[in-house]
Amino acid sequence: MIQDTVTEDIIMRKPKFIAFLFTTIFICFFIFDPSQSIVGHLLEPALGDPEKSGFYGRCVTASMSAVLLVLNLLAISWIPNFRLQVITVWLQLLILFLSFFYSFDLSFEFIRSKIWFMVTQGIFTTLYVSAISIVIASFIAIIGAVAKMSSNGFAYAIASFYTSFFRGLPLLMQVYLIYLGFPQIGYVIDAVPAGIIALSLCYGAYMTEIFRAGIMSIDHGQWEGSRALGFKFGLIMRKIILPQSIPLIIPPTGNQFIAMLKDSSLVSVIGVWELMFLARTLGNKTFNHMEMLITAAMLYWMMTMVLELIQSRIERKYKKQQSR
Amino acid sequence: MSETKHHTKGPIISIRQMNKYYGDFHALTDINLEISIGERMVICGPSGSGKSTLIRCLNRLEAHQSGSVNINGVELHQRMKDIDKVRSEVGMVFQHFNLFPHMTVLENCTAGPMWVNKVPPEDAHNIAMKYLERVNIPEQADKYPAQLSGGQQQRVAIARSLCMHPKVMLFDEPTSALDPEMVSEVLDTMTDLAQSGMTMIVVTHEMGFAKKVADRVVFMDEGRIVESNEPIAFFENPQSDRTKKFLSQVLVH
Protein backbone atom coordinates (compact mmCIF):
# COMPACT_ATOMS: atom_id res chain seq x y z
CA MET A 1 0.00 0.00 0.00
CA ILE A 2 1.26 3.48 -0.79
CA GLN A 3 0.63 5.93 2.03
CA ASP A 4 -0.89 9.27 1.15
CA THR A 5 1.32 12.22 1.97
CA VAL A 6 -1.59 13.96 3.67
CA THR A 7 -2.71 12.22 6.86
CA GLU A 8 -6.12 12.49 8.44
CA ASP A 9 -6.72 13.79 11.96
CA ILE A 10 -5.86 11.27 14.67
CA ILE A 11 -9.13 9.64 15.59
CA MET A 12 -8.25 9.44 19.30
CA ARG A 13 -8.21 13.26 19.44
CA LYS A 14 -11.91 13.53 18.61
CA PRO A 15 -14.03 13.90 21.78
CA LYS A 16 -17.04 12.44 20.00
CA PHE A 17 -15.16 9.28 19.13
CA ILE A 18 -13.76 8.94 22.65
CA ALA A 19 -17.26 9.29 24.08
CA PHE A 20 -18.52 6.66 21.66
CA LEU A 21 -15.63 4.36 22.51
CA PHE A 22 -16.24 4.78 26.21
CA THR A 23 -19.94 4.02 25.89
CA THR A 24 -19.34 0.93 23.78
CA ILE A 25 -16.73 -0.45 26.14
CA PHE A 26 -18.88 0.34 29.13
CA ILE A 27 -21.85 -1.52 27.67
CA CYS A 28 -19.67 -4.53 26.82
CA PHE A 29 -18.16 -4.63 30.29
CA PHE A 30 -21.56 -4.14 31.90
CA ILE A 31 -22.96 -7.13 30.02
CA PHE A 32 -20.03 -9.33 31.01
CA ASP A 33 -20.15 -8.10 34.62
CA PRO A 34 -16.60 -7.36 35.74
CA SER A 35 -17.42 -7.04 39.44
CA GLN A 36 -15.84 -10.46 40.11
CA SER A 37 -12.70 -9.60 38.12
CA ILE A 38 -9.38 -8.09 39.10
CA VAL A 39 -10.86 -4.61 38.82
CA GLY A 40 -13.68 -5.62 41.17
CA HIS A 41 -11.21 -6.94 43.69
CA LEU A 42 -9.08 -3.81 43.45
CA LEU A 43 -12.15 -1.70 44.18
CA GLU A 44 -13.07 -3.85 47.18
CA PRO A 45 -12.15 -1.16 49.77
CA ALA A 46 -14.60 1.25 48.17
CA LEU A 47 -17.39 -1.13 47.20
CA GLY A 48 -17.12 -3.82 49.79
CA ASP A 49 -17.36 -7.51 48.93
CA PRO A 50 -17.62 -7.77 45.11
CA GLU A 51 -20.14 -10.57 45.36
CA LYS A 52 -22.56 -8.40 47.31
CA SER A 53 -22.04 -5.08 45.60
CA GLY A 54 -24.84 -5.81 43.10
CA PHE A 55 -25.99 -3.40 40.39
CA TYR A 56 -24.12 -0.46 41.86
CA GLY A 57 -20.87 -2.41 41.97
CA ARG A 58 -21.40 -3.63 38.43
CA CYS A 59 -21.84 -0.06 37.18
CA VAL A 60 -18.77 1.22 39.01
CA THR A 61 -16.47 -1.60 38.00
CA ALA A 62 -17.62 -1.46 34.37
CA SER A 63 -17.07 2.27 34.15
CA MET A 64 -13.71 2.04 35.93
CA SER A 65 -12.59 -0.65 33.47
CA ALA A 66 -13.79 1.43 30.54
CA VAL A 67 -11.97 4.50 31.85
CA LEU A 68 -8.75 2.52 32.23
CA LEU A 69 -9.01 1.08 28.76
CA VAL A 70 -9.78 4.42 27.11
CA LEU A 71 -6.93 6.09 29.00
CA ASN A 72 -4.64 3.35 27.79
CA LEU A 73 -5.74 3.86 24.19
CA LEU A 74 -5.24 7.62 24.59
CA ALA A 75 -1.77 7.04 25.97
CA ILE A 76 -0.89 4.80 23.03
CA SER A 77 -2.17 7.40 20.57
CA TRP A 78 0.25 9.93 22.10
CA ILE A 79 3.30 7.77 21.42
CA PRO A 80 4.97 9.63 18.57
CA ASN A 81 7.05 6.78 17.19
CA PHE A 82 5.41 4.12 14.99
CA ARG A 83 7.73 1.32 16.17
CA LEU A 84 7.27 2.18 19.81
CA GLN A 85 3.52 2.20 19.33
CA VAL A 86 3.59 -1.26 17.76
CA ILE A 87 5.84 -2.66 20.49
CA THR A 88 3.64 -1.23 23.26
CA VAL A 89 0.46 -2.70 21.83
CA TRP A 90 2.18 -6.04 21.23
CA LEU A 91 3.42 -6.18 24.82
CA GLN A 92 0.04 -5.29 26.23
CA LEU A 93 -1.72 -7.95 24.19
CA LEU A 94 0.93 -10.50 25.12
CA ILE A 95 0.56 -9.74 28.82
CA LEU A 96 -3.21 -10.00 28.44
CA PHE A 97 -2.94 -13.44 26.85
CA LEU A 98 -0.35 -14.69 29.27
CA SER A 99 -2.41 -13.59 32.24
CA PHE A 100 -5.36 -15.39 30.63
CA PHE A 101 -3.30 -18.58 30.55
CA TYR A 102 -1.93 -17.86 34.00
CA SER A 103 -5.44 -17.74 35.37
CA PHE A 104 -5.80 -21.46 34.52
CA ASP A 105 -3.58 -22.16 37.52
CA LEU A 106 -1.13 -24.21 35.46
CA SER A 107 1.51 -26.44 36.95
CA PHE A 108 4.72 -24.90 35.66
CA GLU A 109 6.68 -27.65 37.34
CA PHE A 110 5.00 -30.15 35.02
CA ILE A 111 5.62 -28.01 31.94
CA ARG A 112 9.27 -27.64 32.85
CA SER A 113 9.65 -31.39 33.19
CA LYS A 114 8.18 -32.08 29.75
CA ILE A 115 9.21 -29.14 27.62
CA TRP A 116 12.63 -30.45 26.66
CA PHE A 117 11.12 -33.64 25.30
CA MET A 118 8.46 -31.64 23.44
CA VAL A 119 11.13 -29.55 21.79
CA THR A 120 13.55 -32.33 20.87
CA GLN A 121 10.96 -34.89 19.83
CA GLY A 122 7.87 -32.82 18.95
CA ILE A 123 9.25 -29.75 17.26
CA PHE A 124 11.91 -31.79 15.52
CA THR A 125 9.36 -34.18 14.04
CA THR A 126 6.96 -31.40 13.13
CA LEU A 127 9.71 -29.46 11.38
CA TYR A 128 11.18 -32.32 9.41
CA VAL A 129 7.82 -33.71 8.35
CA SER A 130 6.78 -30.23 7.16
CA ALA A 131 10.09 -29.48 5.47
CA ILE A 132 10.17 -32.73 3.51
CA SER A 133 6.54 -32.28 2.58
CA ILE A 134 6.93 -28.72 1.31
CA VAL A 135 9.86 -29.76 -0.90
CA ILE A 136 7.92 -32.65 -2.41
CA ALA A 137 4.84 -30.42 -2.72
CA SER A 138 6.87 -27.85 -4.65
CA PHE A 139 8.00 -30.48 -7.16
CA ILE A 140 4.43 -31.72 -7.55
CA ALA A 141 3.30 -28.12 -7.96
CA ILE A 142 5.74 -27.37 -10.80
CA ILE A 143 4.70 -30.50 -12.68
CA GLY A 144 1.03 -29.84 -11.93
CA ALA A 145 1.26 -26.23 -13.07
CA VAL A 146 2.94 -27.15 -16.35
CA ALA A 147 0.42 -29.93 -16.93
CA LYS A 148 -2.48 -27.58 -16.23
CA MET A 149 -1.18 -25.13 -18.80
CA SER A 150 -0.40 -27.73 -21.45
CA SER A 151 -2.50 -28.40 -24.53
CA ASN A 152 -2.19 -32.13 -23.89
CA GLY A 153 -5.63 -33.36 -22.84
CA PHE A 154 -4.28 -36.30 -20.87
CA ALA A 155 -1.85 -34.18 -18.83
CA TYR A 156 -4.50 -31.54 -18.18
CA ALA A 157 -7.05 -34.16 -17.13
CA ILE A 158 -4.66 -35.81 -14.66
CA ALA A 159 -3.59 -32.49 -13.17
CA SER A 160 -7.07 -31.06 -12.84
CA PHE A 161 -8.42 -34.32 -11.39
CA TYR A 162 -5.59 -34.32 -8.89
CA THR A 163 -6.06 -30.74 -7.76
CA SER A 164 -9.81 -31.13 -7.63
CA PHE A 165 -9.61 -34.32 -5.54
CA PHE A 166 -6.99 -33.24 -3.05
CA ARG A 167 -8.39 -29.76 -2.59
CA GLY A 168 -11.86 -31.20 -2.24
CA LEU A 169 -11.15 -33.64 0.61
CA PRO A 170 -10.42 -32.65 4.20
CA LEU A 171 -6.74 -33.19 4.98
CA LEU A 172 -7.63 -35.31 7.99
CA MET A 173 -9.52 -37.67 5.70
CA GLN A 174 -6.58 -37.85 3.28
CA VAL A 175 -4.30 -38.80 6.15
CA TYR A 176 -6.65 -41.63 7.13
CA LEU A 177 -7.17 -42.73 3.53
CA ILE A 178 -3.46 -43.04 2.88
CA TYR A 179 -2.56 -44.62 6.21
CA LEU A 180 -5.46 -47.07 6.26
CA GLY A 181 -6.07 -47.34 2.52
CA PHE A 182 -2.65 -48.48 1.34
CA PRO A 183 -2.66 -51.63 3.54
CA GLN A 184 -5.91 -52.61 1.74
CA ILE A 185 -3.97 -53.00 -1.50
CA GLY A 186 -1.12 -54.77 0.22
CA TYR A 187 1.23 -51.95 1.12
CA VAL A 188 1.70 -51.44 4.83
CA ILE A 189 2.97 -47.95 5.25
CA ASP A 190 4.58 -46.37 8.28
CA ALA A 191 2.95 -43.45 9.99
CA VAL A 192 5.62 -40.87 9.14
CA PRO A 193 5.80 -41.62 5.39
CA ALA A 194 2.00 -41.74 5.26
CA GLY A 195 1.82 -38.33 6.90
CA ILE A 196 4.43 -36.90 4.55
CA ILE A 197 2.61 -38.31 1.51
CA ALA A 198 -0.72 -36.89 2.66
CA LEU A 199 0.71 -33.43 3.38
CA SER A 200 2.70 -33.36 0.12
CA LEU A 201 -0.24 -34.36 -2.03
CA CYS A 202 -2.64 -31.97 -0.36
CA TYR A 203 -0.34 -28.95 -0.40
CA GLY A 204 0.97 -29.87 -3.85
CA ALA A 205 -2.58 -29.42 -5.08
CA TYR A 206 -2.90 -25.96 -3.53
CA MET A 207 0.57 -24.93 -4.65
CA THR A 208 -0.12 -26.05 -8.22
CA GLU A 209 -2.38 -23.04 -8.48
CA ILE A 210 0.24 -20.75 -6.91
CA PHE A 211 2.90 -21.92 -9.35
CA ARG A 212 0.52 -21.66 -12.29
CA ALA A 213 -0.32 -18.07 -11.39
CA GLY A 214 3.38 -17.29 -10.95
CA ILE A 215 4.30 -18.73 -14.34
CA MET A 216 1.37 -17.07 -16.09
CA SER A 217 2.30 -13.66 -14.71
CA ILE A 218 5.57 -13.60 -16.65
CA ASP A 219 5.33 -11.39 -19.72
CA HIS A 220 4.77 -13.39 -22.91
CA GLY A 221 7.62 -11.42 -24.48
CA GLN A 222 9.97 -13.58 -22.40
CA TRP A 223 8.63 -16.68 -24.16
CA GLU A 224 8.95 -15.06 -27.55
CA GLY A 225 12.42 -13.73 -26.86
CA SER A 226 13.64 -17.17 -25.77
CA ARG A 227 11.91 -19.00 -28.62
CA ALA A 228 13.38 -16.60 -31.15
CA LEU A 229 16.82 -17.63 -29.89
CA GLY A 230 15.96 -21.27 -30.45
CA PHE A 231 15.44 -22.34 -26.82
CA LYS A 232 13.38 -25.47 -26.23
CA PHE A 233 10.50 -25.62 -23.76
CA GLY A 234 12.39 -27.18 -20.85
CA LEU A 235 15.21 -24.71 -21.16
CA ILE A 236 12.85 -21.73 -21.29
CA MET A 237 11.06 -23.01 -18.21
CA ARG A 238 14.20 -23.73 -16.19
CA LYS A 239 16.36 -20.78 -17.12
CA ILE A 240 13.98 -17.98 -18.05
CA ILE A 241 10.46 -18.39 -16.67
CA LEU A 242 10.90 -20.12 -13.30
CA PRO A 243 13.76 -17.88 -12.07
CA GLN A 244 11.54 -14.89 -12.77
CA SER A 245 8.43 -16.33 -11.16
CA ILE A 246 10.17 -17.45 -7.97
CA PRO A 247 9.99 -13.98 -6.33
CA LEU A 248 6.25 -14.05 -7.03
CA ILE A 249 5.85 -17.61 -5.79
CA ILE A 250 7.81 -17.27 -2.55
CA PRO A 251 5.37 -15.19 -0.43
CA PRO A 252 2.36 -17.49 -0.97
CA THR A 253 4.58 -20.57 -0.66
CA GLY A 254 5.88 -19.27 2.67
CA ASN A 255 2.27 -18.90 3.71
CA GLN A 256 1.59 -22.48 2.69
CA PHE A 257 4.58 -23.69 4.67
CA ILE A 258 3.34 -21.92 7.79
CA ALA A 259 -0.10 -23.38 7.26
CA MET A 260 1.42 -26.82 6.73
CA LEU A 261 3.45 -26.55 9.91
CA LYS A 262 0.20 -26.35 11.80
CA ASP A 263 -1.73 -28.78 9.63
CA SER A 264 0.99 -31.33 10.34
CA SER A 265 -0.74 -31.63 13.72
CA LEU A 266 -3.36 -33.68 11.85
CA VAL A 267 -0.89 -36.51 11.30
CA SER A 268 -0.89 -37.01 15.08
CA VAL A 269 -4.07 -39.04 14.57
CA ILE A 270 -2.03 -41.82 12.97
CA GLY A 271 0.51 -41.76 15.79
CA VAL A 272 3.37 -39.67 14.48
CA TRP A 273 5.18 -38.33 17.51
CA GLU A 274 4.99 -34.70 16.54
CA LEU A 275 4.14 -31.74 18.73
CA MET A 276 0.38 -32.19 18.83
CA PHE A 277 0.62 -35.91 19.53
CA LEU A 278 2.94 -35.27 22.46
CA ALA A 279 0.72 -32.50 23.77
CA ARG A 280 -2.23 -34.86 23.87
CA THR A 281 -0.43 -37.90 25.26
CA LEU A 282 2.02 -36.40 27.76
CA GLY A 283 -0.67 -34.69 29.77
CA ASN A 284 -3.00 -37.67 29.76
CA LYS A 285 -1.57 -39.64 32.64
CA THR A 286 -1.70 -36.85 35.19
CA PHE A 287 -4.64 -34.91 33.75
CA ASN A 288 -2.37 -31.96 32.92
CA HIS A 289 -4.11 -31.45 29.57
CA MET A 290 -4.21 -27.67 29.70
CA GLU A 291 -0.49 -27.38 30.48
CA MET A 292 0.55 -29.43 27.48
CA LEU A 293 -1.93 -27.85 25.08
CA ILE A 294 -0.86 -24.34 25.99
CA THR A 295 2.81 -25.27 25.79
CA ALA A 296 2.29 -26.79 22.36
CA ALA A 297 0.31 -23.70 21.29
CA MET A 298 3.16 -21.44 22.37
CA LEU A 299 5.70 -23.62 20.58
CA TYR A 300 3.67 -23.58 17.36
CA TRP A 301 3.35 -19.83 17.63
CA MET A 302 7.07 -19.35 18.17
CA MET A 303 7.93 -21.57 15.20
CA THR A 304 5.54 -19.58 13.05
CA MET A 305 7.08 -16.30 14.14
CA VAL A 306 10.54 -17.54 13.24
CA LEU A 307 9.27 -18.67 9.85
CA GLU A 308 7.57 -15.32 9.22
CA LEU A 309 10.87 -13.65 9.97
CA ILE A 310 12.73 -15.91 7.54
CA GLN A 311 10.07 -15.35 4.91
CA SER A 312 10.32 -11.57 5.15
CA ARG A 313 14.12 -11.84 4.88
CA ILE A 314 13.87 -13.86 1.68
CA GLU A 315 11.28 -11.48 0.25
CA ARG A 316 13.50 -8.51 0.98
CA LYS A 317 16.43 -10.24 -0.70
CA TYR A 318 14.43 -10.80 -3.89
CA LYS A 319 13.07 -7.27 -3.81
CA LYS A 320 16.63 -5.98 -3.70
CA GLN A 321 17.53 -8.19 -6.63
CA GLN A 322 14.64 -6.87 -8.66
CA SER A 323 15.48 -3.23 -8.12
CA ARG A 324 19.10 -3.78 -9.10
CA MET B 1 1.66 -29.77 -45.97
CA SER B 2 4.53 -31.43 -47.77
CA GLU B 3 8.02 -31.49 -46.37
CA THR B 4 9.86 -30.43 -49.48
CA LYS B 5 13.35 -29.01 -49.14
CA HIS B 6 14.75 -26.62 -51.68
CA HIS B 7 18.39 -25.77 -51.84
CA THR B 8 18.35 -22.80 -54.13
CA LYS B 9 21.04 -20.21 -53.85
CA GLY B 10 18.96 -17.12 -54.52
CA PRO B 11 16.21 -16.42 -52.00
CA ILE B 12 16.87 -17.15 -48.34
CA ILE B 13 13.20 -16.60 -47.50
CA SER B 14 10.34 -17.29 -49.84
CA ILE B 15 6.69 -16.91 -49.00
CA ARG B 16 4.04 -18.19 -51.38
CA GLN B 17 0.28 -17.54 -51.25
CA MET B 18 0.42 -17.34 -47.45
CA ASN B 19 -2.80 -16.70 -45.53
CA LYS B 20 -3.20 -16.15 -41.81
CA TYR B 21 -6.38 -15.98 -39.74
CA TYR B 22 -7.07 -15.05 -36.14
CA GLY B 23 -10.33 -16.97 -35.74
CA ASP B 24 -12.60 -15.35 -38.32
CA PHE B 25 -10.35 -12.38 -38.86
CA HIS B 26 -8.30 -12.61 -42.02
CA ALA B 27 -5.00 -11.11 -40.87
CA LEU B 28 -2.84 -11.78 -43.92
CA THR B 29 -4.12 -12.39 -47.44
CA ASP B 30 -2.19 -14.07 -50.27
CA ILE B 31 1.27 -12.92 -49.27
CA ASN B 32 3.98 -13.58 -51.87
CA LEU B 33 7.48 -12.42 -51.06
CA GLU B 34 11.06 -13.43 -51.71
CA ILE B 35 14.10 -12.13 -49.88
CA SER B 36 17.49 -12.87 -51.30
CA ILE B 37 20.75 -13.13 -49.39
CA GLY B 38 22.12 -9.75 -48.39
CA GLU B 39 18.89 -7.92 -49.18
CA ARG B 40 17.62 -5.18 -46.85
CA MET B 41 13.87 -4.96 -46.88
CA VAL B 42 11.73 -2.44 -45.03
CA ILE B 43 8.06 -3.22 -44.43
CA CYS B 44 5.82 -0.26 -43.64
CA GLY B 45 2.13 0.42 -43.43
CA PRO B 46 -0.56 1.75 -41.11
CA SER B 47 -1.07 0.08 -37.71
CA GLY B 48 -3.09 -3.11 -37.94
CA SER B 49 -1.97 -3.72 -41.52
CA GLY B 50 -0.35 -7.04 -40.60
CA LYS B 51 3.33 -6.12 -40.94
CA SER B 52 4.27 -7.42 -37.46
CA THR B 53 2.18 -10.54 -38.01
CA LEU B 54 3.97 -11.16 -41.29
CA ILE B 55 7.43 -10.86 -39.81
CA ARG B 56 6.44 -13.07 -36.85
CA CYS B 57 5.35 -15.77 -39.28
CA LEU B 58 8.91 -15.94 -40.57
CA ASN B 59 10.24 -17.69 -37.44
CA ARG B 60 6.87 -19.16 -36.63
CA LEU B 61 6.14 -17.18 -33.52
CA GLU B 62 2.82 -17.09 -35.36
CA ALA B 63 1.34 -19.92 -37.42
CA HIS B 64 0.08 -19.43 -40.96
CA GLN B 65 -2.93 -21.39 -42.12
CA SER B 66 -2.30 -21.83 -45.84
CA GLY B 67 0.41 -21.27 -48.41
CA SER B 68 4.06 -21.85 -47.68
CA VAL B 69 6.87 -20.15 -45.78
CA ASN B 70 10.34 -21.37 -46.65
CA ILE B 71 13.35 -20.25 -44.62
CA ASN B 72 16.77 -21.14 -45.97
CA GLY B 73 15.38 -24.25 -47.62
CA VAL B 74 13.27 -25.40 -44.65
CA GLU B 75 9.52 -25.38 -44.92
CA LEU B 76 7.75 -24.07 -41.77
CA HIS B 77 4.75 -26.08 -40.68
CA GLN B 78 3.01 -27.26 -37.54
CA ARG B 79 4.59 -30.69 -37.09
CA MET B 80 8.14 -29.74 -38.00
CA LYS B 81 10.89 -31.15 -35.79
CA ASP B 82 13.67 -28.62 -36.18
CA ILE B 83 11.99 -25.27 -35.57
CA ASP B 84 14.59 -24.48 -32.88
CA LYS B 85 17.35 -24.79 -35.46
CA VAL B 86 15.53 -22.47 -37.87
CA ARG B 87 14.90 -19.98 -35.07
CA SER B 88 18.52 -20.04 -33.97
CA GLU B 89 19.49 -19.02 -37.52
CA VAL B 90 16.92 -16.23 -37.72
CA GLY B 91 17.66 -13.37 -35.34
CA MET B 92 14.73 -11.33 -34.07
CA VAL B 93 14.63 -7.93 -32.40
CA PHE B 94 11.39 -6.98 -30.68
CA GLN B 95 9.60 -3.73 -30.03
CA HIS B 96 9.88 -4.26 -26.27
CA PHE B 97 13.40 -5.75 -26.37
CA ASN B 98 12.39 -8.91 -24.44
CA LEU B 99 15.73 -9.07 -22.68
CA PHE B 100 15.92 -11.47 -19.73
CA PRO B 101 15.72 -9.16 -16.70
CA HIS B 102 17.23 -11.64 -14.22
CA MET B 103 20.43 -12.00 -16.25
CA THR B 104 23.23 -9.52 -16.85
CA VAL B 105 23.78 -8.05 -20.29
CA LEU B 106 26.67 -10.46 -20.81
CA GLU B 107 24.61 -13.46 -19.68
CA ASN B 108 21.82 -12.40 -22.03
CA CYS B 109 24.32 -12.56 -24.86
CA THR B 110 26.10 -15.78 -23.91
CA ALA B 111 22.89 -17.73 -23.16
CA GLY B 112 22.03 -18.45 -26.79
CA PRO B 113 25.47 -19.61 -27.94
CA MET B 114 26.04 -21.70 -24.79
CA TRP B 115 22.63 -23.32 -24.43
CA VAL B 116 21.66 -23.77 -28.08
CA ASN B 117 24.89 -23.95 -30.05
CA LYS B 118 26.81 -25.62 -27.18
CA VAL B 119 29.66 -23.15 -27.47
CA PRO B 120 32.15 -23.42 -24.54
CA PRO B 121 31.71 -20.63 -21.94
CA GLU B 122 34.98 -18.89 -22.81
CA ASP B 123 34.21 -18.75 -26.51
CA ALA B 124 30.65 -17.61 -25.77
CA HIS B 125 32.10 -14.82 -23.65
CA ASN B 126 34.36 -13.74 -26.49
CA ILE B 127 31.53 -13.81 -29.01
CA ALA B 128 29.33 -11.78 -26.66
CA MET B 129 32.01 -9.16 -26.02
CA LYS B 130 32.72 -8.91 -29.74
CA TYR B 131 29.11 -8.03 -30.54
CA LEU B 132 28.67 -5.83 -27.48
CA GLU B 133 31.63 -3.85 -28.77
CA ARG B 134 30.04 -3.77 -32.17
CA VAL B 135 26.89 -2.13 -30.72
CA ASN B 136 29.13 0.16 -28.65
CA ILE B 137 28.22 -0.94 -25.11
CA PRO B 138 30.95 -3.34 -23.93
CA GLU B 139 31.24 -1.32 -20.69
CA GLN B 140 27.65 -2.26 -19.72
CA ALA B 141 28.31 -6.00 -19.88
CA ASP B 142 27.94 -6.65 -16.16
CA LYS B 143 24.84 -4.54 -15.62
CA TYR B 144 21.27 -5.75 -15.59
CA PRO B 145 18.88 -4.69 -18.38
CA ALA B 146 16.80 -2.55 -16.01
CA GLN B 147 19.86 -0.36 -15.34
CA LEU B 148 20.16 0.55 -19.02
CA SER B 149 18.32 3.13 -21.10
CA GLY B 150 15.83 1.98 -23.71
CA GLY B 151 18.24 2.59 -26.55
CA GLN B 152 20.99 0.64 -24.80
CA GLN B 153 18.60 -2.21 -24.07
CA GLN B 154 17.62 -2.43 -27.71
CA ARG B 155 21.26 -2.48 -28.76
CA VAL B 156 21.87 -5.32 -26.29
CA ALA B 157 18.93 -7.14 -27.87
CA ILE B 158 20.55 -6.70 -31.29
CA ALA B 159 23.87 -7.98 -29.93
CA ARG B 160 22.09 -10.93 -28.30
CA SER B 161 20.64 -11.94 -31.66
CA LEU B 162 23.94 -11.45 -33.48
CA CYS B 163 25.70 -13.78 -31.04
CA MET B 164 23.80 -16.65 -32.65
CA HIS B 165 25.41 -15.78 -36.02
CA PRO B 166 22.03 -15.54 -37.72
CA LYS B 167 21.60 -15.72 -41.48
CA VAL B 168 18.72 -13.24 -41.39
CA MET B 169 17.77 -10.53 -38.90
CA LEU B 170 14.14 -9.63 -38.33
CA PHE B 171 13.32 -6.29 -36.69
CA ASP B 172 9.78 -5.84 -35.37
CA GLU B 173 9.32 -2.09 -34.87
CA PRO B 174 12.66 -1.80 -33.03
CA THR B 175 12.38 1.92 -32.30
CA SER B 176 8.66 2.28 -31.56
CA ALA B 177 8.99 1.89 -27.79
CA LEU B 178 11.96 4.23 -27.47
CA ASP B 179 12.19 7.81 -26.29
CA PRO B 180 12.79 10.08 -29.31
CA GLU B 181 16.38 10.91 -28.41
CA MET B 182 17.31 7.21 -28.37
CA VAL B 183 15.95 6.29 -31.77
CA SER B 184 19.02 7.39 -33.69
CA GLU B 185 21.52 5.28 -31.70
CA VAL B 186 19.52 2.16 -32.53
CA LEU B 187 19.07 3.15 -36.18
CA ASP B 188 22.82 3.82 -36.44
CA THR B 189 23.52 0.33 -35.12
CA MET B 190 21.11 -1.13 -37.65
CA THR B 191 22.67 0.90 -40.48
CA ASP B 192 26.10 -0.42 -39.48
CA LEU B 193 24.73 -3.92 -39.55
CA ALA B 194 23.19 -3.38 -42.98
CA GLN B 195 26.49 -2.13 -44.34
CA SER B 196 28.19 -5.31 -43.11
CA GLY B 197 26.03 -7.27 -45.54
CA MET B 198 23.48 -8.79 -43.16
CA THR B 199 20.16 -9.85 -44.65
CA MET B 200 17.55 -7.74 -42.85
CA ILE B 201 13.80 -7.43 -42.77
CA VAL B 202 12.72 -4.37 -40.85
CA VAL B 203 9.20 -3.39 -39.85
CA THR B 204 9.40 0.30 -39.05
CA HIS B 205 7.86 3.73 -39.36
CA GLU B 206 11.28 5.34 -39.78
CA MET B 207 11.07 6.43 -43.39
CA GLY B 208 14.49 8.07 -43.25
CA PHE B 209 16.02 4.71 -42.43
CA ALA B 210 14.10 3.11 -45.29
CA LYS B 211 15.36 5.71 -47.77
CA LYS B 212 18.93 5.41 -46.63
CA VAL B 213 19.33 1.67 -46.07
CA ALA B 214 16.64 -0.37 -47.81
CA ASP B 215 17.05 -2.17 -51.10
CA ARG B 216 13.31 -2.60 -51.26
CA VAL B 217 10.32 -1.07 -49.47
CA VAL B 218 7.13 -3.07 -49.07
CA PHE B 219 3.88 -1.30 -48.23
CA MET B 220 1.12 -3.27 -46.54
CA ASP B 221 -2.49 -2.43 -45.83
CA GLU B 222 -5.33 -4.56 -44.47
CA GLY B 223 -3.24 -7.72 -44.51
CA ARG B 224 -2.14 -7.42 -48.15
CA ILE B 225 1.04 -6.32 -49.83
CA VAL B 226 -0.08 -3.26 -51.72
CA GLU B 227 3.16 -2.12 -53.23
CA SER B 228 6.78 -3.20 -53.34
CA ASN B 229 9.51 -1.16 -54.94
CA GLU B 230 12.99 0.29 -54.67
CA PRO B 231 13.13 3.13 -52.15
CA ILE B 232 13.63 5.97 -54.63
CA ALA B 233 10.76 4.84 -56.81
CA PHE B 234 8.63 4.02 -53.78
CA PHE B 235 8.94 7.43 -52.18
CA GLU B 236 9.03 9.61 -55.29
CA ASN B 237 6.60 7.78 -57.49
CA PRO B 238 4.17 5.72 -55.40
CA GLN B 239 1.73 3.77 -57.53
CA SER B 240 -1.34 3.13 -55.42
CA ASP B 241 -3.59 5.72 -53.81
CA ARG B 242 -3.26 4.09 -50.42
CA THR B 243 0.50 4.34 -50.56
CA LYS B 244 0.28 8.00 -51.54
CA LYS B 245 -2.09 8.71 -48.68
CA PHE B 246 0.10 6.84 -46.18
CA LEU B 247 3.26 8.60 -47.33
CA SER B 248 1.59 11.99 -47.19
CA GLN B 249 0.63 11.29 -43.57
CA VAL B 250 4.01 9.94 -42.55
CA LEU B 251 6.28 12.35 -44.37
CA VAL B 252 4.55 15.60 -43.34
CA HIS B 253 6.77 15.97 -40.30
Rounded distance between C-alpha atoms, residue B27 and residue B64, angstroms: 10
Query: Quick one: A73 and A190 in the same domain?
Result: no
Query: Quick one: A177 and A303 in the same domain?
Result: yes
Q: Choosing among A229, A232, A235, which should be mutated to test the B contact, i.e. which has the most B CBs within 10 A?
A: A229
Query: Quick one: A117 and A216 in the same domain?
Result: yes
8 Å CB contact of A226 and B100: yes
Q: At what angle do helices A108-117 and A289-322 cross, to 10 degrees?
A: 50
Examine residue A133 and state whether it is found in any structural domain, yes or no.
yes
Per-chain mean pLDDT for chain A: 88
Examine residue A95 and state whether it is found in any structural domain, yes or no.
no
Rounded distance between C-alpha atoms, residue B128 and residue A17, angstroms: 67
pLDDT band of residue A321 (cuts 50, 70, 90) is low
- C-alpha distance from residue B186 to each of B18, B101, B190, B193, B251 (Å): 31, 20, 6, 11, 20
The predicted-structure confidence for B195-248, as pLDDT tens digits, reads as follows: 999 999 999 999 999 999 999 999 999 999 999 999 999 999 999 999 999 999
- C-alpha distance from residue A214 to each of A217, A250, A288, B72 (Å): 5, 9, 47, 38
Rounded distance between C-alpha atoms, residue A132 and residue A249, angstroms: 18
Q: Where are the beta strands (DSSP E) in chain B?
A: 11-22, 25-36, 40-44, 66-71, 74-75, 90-93, 168-172, 199-203, 216-221, 224-229
* Contact residues on chain A for B164, CB-CB shorter than 8 A: 229-230
8 Å CB contact of B94 and A224: yes
Question: Phi first, then psi: what are they for B205, rounded to 5°?
Answer: -100, 5
Q: b/e for A18-34, b at 16 or more Cβ within 10 A? A: beebbeebbeebbeeeb
Chain A residue with CA closest to B109: the answer is A229
Residues A70-77 have a mean pLDDT of 91
Rounded distance between C-alpha atoms, residue A131 and residue A203, angstroms: 12
Is the minimum CB–CB distance between A42 and chain B shorter than 8 Å?
no
As to burial, measured by CB atoms within 10 angstroms (0-12 exposed, 13-18 middle, 19+ buried), residue B191 is: middle
From A33, A57, A78, the end of a domain falls on: A78
Query: Quick one: A26 and A154 in the same domain?
Result: no
Examine residue A148 and state whether it is found in any structural domain, yes or no.
yes
**Nearest CB to B87: which of A228, A239, A240?**
A228
Q: b/e for A90-101, b at 16 or more Cβ within 10 A? A: eeeeeeeeeeee
- Say how many domains are in chain A: 2
> What is the pTM for the complete model shown?
0.81
Examine residue A274 and state whether it is found in any structural domain, yes or no.
yes
pLDDT band of residue A51 (cuts 50, 70, 90) is low
Structural domain boundaries enclosing A265: 108-323
Cross-sheet strand order for the sheet of B224-229: B90-93, B168-172, B199-203, B40-44, B216-221, B224-229
pLDDT band of residue B2 (cuts 50, 70, 90) is very low
* Contact residues on chain B for A219, CB-CB shorter than 8 A: 98
Query: Quick one: A118 and A56 in the same domain?
Result: no
CB B89 within 8 A of CB B168: yes
Query: Quick one: A112 and A21 in the same domain?
Result: no
